[in-house]
């Protein structure tokens, strides 16, 4: 009697960070009523840290290690709206680093709690101060980096590893998943890494692909793209988390963004709730903004069955339970009746 030897290889990851990337594209079916183009969502909350930021978190750390900037036992210090912090914290656990994160006080309590849950120290800073004010979350992170020995300040805004991460992973994934049929790429713009890296890769494959950046009212991006003017009058407080800026990060390559659409806090919030109820996609606030903007673009430009839009859904709804998914909070903002 012959004995068959099993040659199946065991399938497991050495650490949770090895599951970053290769997120699915999911067709939107209900919120797209009246839109003839195919609209596909890249569901980034299926990364282990529940956001698109995992991709650049691991890239920034690996590049810093390779450059000798971050050494064993070091401390990672970053200003974050929460998602980058989560990605960095998971990488830090895998590699044995400590984390300190600065955040603005407009971020949801869940984002702060989740960072503490994965072992990070969190310092909450005021939102309504200028970026160069010593109490801003940018300035506090920079100061701590100078004070703490063997620390690394990734600075996701100006660290080009952010863009490279998306050039190496997000762009190729979308190209492969759509078999090169993508015609429009739509994403919220914050640090700029997702839009610039992904767009650069896609446009290298097909220069006709149009990139649409989603901005928010209270942010400088749209006017800067259209006029070249950094208008401080455009800057005012807004509620949407994770998109728009009051600075021009080095990762935002305006040459790769064909146009911007601004979406109000309310329109983004309402669409986020619709994505959960109508598509089964339990996503974060800027996801709703991105989809709302994509659909507005499709209508305005009369896109047809020949067009295929891919929209990035950056993060998960669990970060917004006390706000977006709380009816009382939504009513208090005037977002729902």
- 71: annotated active-site residue: no
- The residue out of 125, 152, 179 marking a domain boundary is 152
Cα separation, 265 vs 236, in Å, equals 13
Q: Rg for the chain (alpha carbons), in Å? A: 20
Q: Which pLDDT does position 1 carry in this prediction?
A: 53
Q: What is the dihedral of CA 173, 176, 179, 184, to 10 degrees?
A: 20
CA distance readout (Å), 56 to 161, 256, 283, 331: 7, 19, 20, 36
Closest-CA residue to 54 (of 9, 27, 8, 23): 23
Query: Is the domain of 294 the same as that of 311?
Result: yes
Is residue 6 in a domain?
Answer: no
In this predicted model, what pLDDT tens digit does every residue of 71-96 receive, in sequence order?
999 999 999 888 999 999 999 999 99
Query: Is the domain of 246 the same as that of 97?
Result: no
Q: Which pLDDT does position 231 carry in this prediction?
A: 93
Query: Is the domain of 183 the same as that of 304?
Result: yes
Is residue 7 in a domain?
Answer: no
Is residue 11 in a domain?
Answer: no
CA distance readout (Å), 141 to 31, 70, 265, 267: 40, 16, 27, 32
Q: Which pLDDT does position 289 carry in this prediction?
A: 98
Query: Is the domain of 59 the same as that of 38?
Result: no
Q: Which pLDDT does position 34 carry in this prediction?
A: 96
How far separated are the first and last CA of the chain, in Å rounded? Answer: 75
CATH label of the domain that carries residue 74: 3.40.50.1100
Query: Is the domain of 40 the same as that of 117?
Result: no
Is residue 273 in a domain?
Answer: yes
DSSP state, residue 248: -
Is residue 185 in a domain?
Answer: yes
Count of domains in the chain? Answer: 2
CB-based contacts of 94: which residues, under 8 Å, 6+ apart? 15, 16, 17
Residues (pLDDT < 70) of the chain are: 1-7
Q: Which pLDDT does position 7 carry in this prediction?
A: 62
Place of tokens 């990364």: 47
Q: Which pLDDT does position 130 carry in this prediction?
A: 85
Query: Is the domain of 40 the same as that of 116?
Result: no
Q: Which pLDDT does position 111 carry in this prediction?
A: 84
Q: Which pLDDT does position 82 carry in this prediction?
A: 85
In this predicted model, what pLDDT tens digit does every residue of 208-255 receive, in sequence order?
999 999 999 999 999 999 999 999 999 999 999 989 999 999 999 999
- The residue out of 152, 178, 193 marking a domain boundary is 152
Query: Is the domain of 145 the same as that of 239?
Result: no
Is residue 165 in a domain?
Answer: no
Could you list the residue range(s) of the whole structural domain that residue 98 is in? 53-152
Query: Is the domain of 204 the same as that of 309?
Result: yes
Query: Is the domain of 293 the same as that of 174?
Result: yes
Give the active site residue among 42, 53, 111, 262.
53
Query: Is the domain of 60 the same as that of 136?
Result: yes
- The residue out of 152, 182, 209 marking a domain boundary is 152
Dihedral class, residue 260 (left if φ above 0, else alpha if ψ from -120 to 50, else beta): beta
């Amino acid at each position: 009697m012959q004995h068959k030897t099993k040659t199946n290889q065991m399938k497991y990851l050495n650490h949770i960070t090895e599951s970053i990337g290769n997120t699915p594209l999911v067709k939107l079916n209900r919120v797209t009523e009246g839109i003839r183009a195919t609209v596909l969502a890249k569901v980034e909350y299926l990364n282990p840290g529940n956001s698109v930021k995992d991709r650049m978190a691991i890239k920034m750390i690996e590049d810093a290690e390779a450059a000798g900037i971050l050494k064993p036992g070091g401390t990672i210090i970053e200003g974050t709206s929460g998602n980058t912090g989560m990605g960095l914290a998971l990488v830090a656990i895998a590699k044995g680093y400590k984390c300190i994160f600065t955040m603005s006080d407009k971020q949801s309590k869940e984002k702060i709690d989740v960072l503490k849950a994965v072992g990070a120290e969190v310092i909450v800073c005021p939102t309504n101060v200028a970026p160069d004010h010593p109490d801003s979350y940018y300035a506090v992170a920079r100061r701590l980096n100078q004070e703490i020995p063997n620390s690394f300040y990734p600075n996701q805004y100006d660290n080009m590893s952010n863009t490279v991460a998306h050039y190496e992973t997000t762009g190729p994934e979308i190209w492969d998943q759509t078999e090169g049929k993508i015609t429009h790429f739509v994403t919220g713009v914050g640090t700029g890494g997702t839009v610039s890296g992904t767009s650069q890769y896609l446009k290298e494959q097909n220069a006709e692909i149009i990139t649409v950046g989603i901005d928010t009212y209270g942010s400088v991006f749209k006017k800067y793209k259209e006029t070249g003017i950094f208008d401080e009058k455009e800057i005012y407080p807004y509620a949407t988390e994770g998109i728009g800026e009051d600075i021009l990060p080095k990762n935002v390559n305006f040459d790769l963004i064909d146009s911007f659409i601004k979406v109000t806090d309310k329109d983004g919030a309402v669409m986020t709730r619709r994505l959960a109820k109508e598509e089964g996609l339990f996503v974060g606030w800027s996801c709703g903004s991105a989809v709302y903007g994509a659909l507005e673009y499709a209508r305005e430009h009369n896109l047809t069955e020949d067009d295929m839009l891919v929209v990035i859904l950056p993060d998960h709804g669990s970060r917004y339970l006390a706000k977006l998914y709380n009816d009382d909070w939504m009513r208090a903002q005037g977002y729902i009746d």
